[in-house]
């Protein structure tokens, strides 16, 4: 009797596609992999359009994220988004969504959204700056003195007279 009741309950629950879709989204939310809140926040996203291909934008945005030591929590190149975490100055679990929309073969819109205005602004400033440098719109930032001081310590330096 219990088995029949369980089978009826499961068949009822999974008979509706809408319910199944909602249950998948509910499970993703519990698991922490849902992007629904970030997608909804795109209405207030910080946006910039680049005259570069979709794939160039995604690759370079990933490089900028790694350089800034942000955690790439989720990445879907086909659907066109990154979910970043560990933004300095924000709670480590604050999520920032970076969405890519291919407008043409040579033009891509990049949108940055988050429920945290502060995290969204920080990522937008750093990401757009990094992409501007990568695409040649801005000159490279001056290197840190630590990076330029790579002298070989085993090499003997001539005495100054």
89 belongs to a structural domain: yes
CATH number for the domain spanning 95: value is 3.30.310.80
Residues in the chain predicted with pLDDT less than 50, given as ranges, are 4-8, 10-33, 146-151
14 belongs to a structural domain: no
- β-sheet with 81-85: strand ranges across: 46-50, 107-114, 96-104, 81-85, 71-76
* Counted domains in the chain: 1
Query: Would you call 85 helix, strand, or coil by DSSP?
Result: strand
Provide the residue range defining the domain that includes 129.
35-137
9 belongs to a structural domain: no
Angle at 73 between CA 69 and CA 120, to 5 degrees: 70
144 belongs to a structural domain: no
DSSP string, 115-135: S-HHHHHHHHHHHHHHHHHHT
pLDDT at res. 159:
61
Query: Would you call 68 helix, strand, or coil by DSSP?
Result: coil
49 belongs to a structural domain: yes
Give 2-47 pLDDT, tens digit per residue: 554 444 454 444 444 444 444 444 444 434 446 899 999 899 999 9
22 belongs to a structural domain: no
Task: Catalogue the E-assigned strands of 35-154.
Answer: 46-50, 71-76, 81-85, 96-104, 107-114
111 belongs to a structural domain: yes
125 belongs to a structural domain: yes
Q: Would the pTM of this model clear 0.85, i.e. be above it?
A: no
């Amino acid at each position: 009797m219990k088995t029949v009741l369980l089978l009826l309950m499961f068949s009822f629950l999974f008979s509706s596609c809408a319910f199944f879709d909602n249950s998948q989204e509910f499970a993703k939310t519990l698991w922490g992999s849902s992007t629904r809140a970030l997608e909804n926040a795109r209405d207030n996203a910080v946006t910039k359009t680049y005259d570069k291909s979709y794939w160039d934008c995604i690759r370079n945005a990933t490089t900028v994220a790694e350089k800034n030591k942000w955690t790439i929590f989720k990445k879907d190149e086909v659907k066109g988004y990154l979910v970043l975490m560990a933004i300095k100055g924000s709670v480590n679990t604050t999520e920032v969504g970076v969405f890519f929309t291919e407008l043409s073969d040579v033009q891509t819109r990049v949108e940055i959204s988050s429920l945290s205005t502060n995290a969204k602004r920080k990522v937008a400033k750093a990401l757009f700056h990094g992409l501007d440098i990568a695409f040649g719109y801005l000159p490279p930032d001056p290197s840190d003195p630590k990076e330029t001081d790579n002298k070989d310590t085993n090499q003997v330096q001539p005495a100054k007279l």
